């Protein structure tokens, strides 16, 4: 390059980024398209801010919920989810709206670190939205939780496994450090770049009273963060677009328990607005009413969780 005229070098520097963008939009063998699809119109999916690539298979319960994009000609990542049974996925209700969408409109990808990498999609046989979820209020109305029954059970392995449900009585203390994962944006309007590797970030739980104070300052509502919601996040560390439905997990006594489902938030990684999650403990009885579900979530004795705030750190 040093032997070329300066004017030629300048032109090449201008052209190379455009050629690279053109390359990224070309279809690849096997139908995979390595681009980050934009959210479908009307879907308020809430990605990982301040995180890093997941190395190894530390989150084998993480799934990608797909919706077919006719323009791109592929099953597009729409939301996250978690495997709680070989045939059942836990996600957010707003991820499978509007209500008239049938189960056949969705696919689930399990055991994947990089989006669209050798997809082997599973068909969804049934969608069960929580009966108290209000489609007109969406995630902000609460009960933002849904179950997806797959047509057939998935084969469990090192890469594909289940996350544990907490007992309904579990209290998640403020400042407990937990982990959220997903393939969403890494900042507001900043999509996850190629090769679209699953991201993780450690975030502190924020008490509902404190969380509500933040959100009340930006709204006329007096109770935006409801009892069936849980807040977590800090400045520059948060979930974001296209992570909705994904799991917030905390570790107790060497076991990972899912305590939250990515639901909604104001901006991504803003210091005054923690991410808001569906509080899983509020819905364990409802989840366990369905056939094939685990009936007795287990955990060590409750006193283990009632120490001073901030003493329970997730060990990797």
pLDDT tens, position by position, for the chain (316 residues)? 434 444 433 434 444 333 333 333 333 333 333 333 333 433 344 456 655 565 567 999 999 999 999 999 999 999 999 999 999 999 999 999 998 999 999 999 999 999 999 999 999 999 999 999 999 999 999 999 999 999 999 999 999 999 999 999 999 999 999 999 999 999 888 999 999 999 999 999 999 999 999 898 776 555 689 999 999 999 999 999 999 999 999 999 888 999 999 999 998 999 899 999 999 999 999 999 986 665 544 444 433 333 223 322 222 2
Burial of 32 (0-12, 13-18, 19+ CB in 10 A): middle
Residue written as tokens 């364990």?
A: 284
CA distance 117 to 140: 33
Helix (H, G, I), strand (E, B) or coil at 27: coil
| Cβ contact 166:257 at 8 Å | yes
Burial of 69 (0-12, 13-18, 19+ CB in 10 A): middle
Tokens of 293: 């579900």
Q: Which residues contact 88 (CB under 8 A, 6 or more apart)?
A: 147, 148, 149, 150, 290, 292, 293
Mark whether 244 is an active-site residue. Answer: yes
CA distance 66 to 105: 9
Mark whether 272 is an active-site residue. Answer: no
Helix (H, G, I), strand (E, B) or coil at 147: strand
Burial of 198 (0-12, 13-18, 19+ CB in 10 A): buried
- Kindly report the CATH number that applies to the domain delimited by 60-150: 2.40.10.10
CA distance 298 to 138: 31
Q: Measured between alpha carbons, how far apart are the two ends of the chain, in Å?
A: 46
Q: Find how far residue 127's CA is from the centre of its chain.
A: 18
Other CB atoms within 10 A of residue 123 CB? 12
Helix (H, G, I), strand (E, B) or coil at 197: strand
Helix (H, G, I), strand (E, B) or coil at 20: helix
Residue written as tokens 């004017």?
A: 7
Select from 144, 148, 98 the least CA-distant residue to 121: 148
Q: What single DSSP character describes residue 263? A: E
Task: Spot the catalytic one: 64, 130, 144, 228.
Answer: 144
Task: Spot the catalytic one: 45, 64, 82, 244.
Answer: 244
* Cα distances (angstroms) measured from residue 147 to each of 108, 128, 138, 187: 12, 5, 16, 28
Select from 64, 76, 69 the least CA-distant residue to 108: 64
Mark whether 119 is an active-site residue. Answer: no
Task: Spot the catalytic one: 64, 77, 82, 94.
Answer: 94
In the chain, domain spans? 60-150
């Amino acid at each position: 390059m040093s032997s070329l005229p300066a004017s030629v070098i300048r032109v090449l520097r201008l052209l190379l980024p455009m050629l690279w963008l053109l390359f990224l939009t070309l279809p690849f063998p096997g139908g995979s398209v390595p681009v980050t699809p934009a959210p479908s119109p009307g879907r308020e999916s809430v990605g990982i801010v301040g995180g890093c690539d997941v190395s190894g298979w530390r989150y084998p319960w993480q799934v990608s919920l797909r919706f077919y994009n006719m323009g791109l000609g592929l099953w597009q990542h729409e939301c996250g989810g978690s495997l709680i049974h070989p045939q059942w996925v836990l996600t957010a209700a707003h991820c499978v709206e509007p209500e008239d969408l049938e189960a056949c409109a969705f696919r689930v990808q399990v055991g994947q670190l990089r989006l669209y990498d050798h997809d082997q999609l599973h068909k969804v046989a049934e969608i069960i939205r929580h009966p108290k979820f209000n489609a007109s209020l969406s995630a902000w109305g609460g009960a933002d939780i849904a179950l997806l029954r797959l047509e057939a059970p998935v084969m469990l392995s090192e890469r594909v496994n289940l996350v544990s449900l907490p007992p309904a009585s579990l209290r998640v203390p403020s400042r407990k450090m937990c982990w959220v994962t997903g393939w969403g944006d890494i900042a507001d309007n900043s999509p996850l770049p190629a090769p679209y590797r699953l991201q993780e970030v450690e975030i502190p739980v924020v008490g509902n009273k404190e969380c509500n104070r933040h959100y009340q300052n930006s709204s006329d509502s007096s109770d935006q963060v409801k009892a069936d919601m849980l807040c977590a996040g800090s400045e520059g560390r948060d979930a974001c677009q296209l992570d909705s439905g994904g799991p917030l997990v905390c570790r107790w006594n060497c076991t990972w328990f899912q305590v939250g489902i990515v639901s909604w938030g104001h901006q991504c990684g803003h210091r005054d607005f923690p991410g808001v999650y569906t509080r899983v403990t509020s819905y364990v009885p409802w989840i366990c009413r369905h056939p094939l579900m685990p009936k007795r979530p287990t955990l060590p004795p409750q006193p283990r969780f009632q120490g001073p705030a901030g003493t329970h750190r997730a060990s990797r």
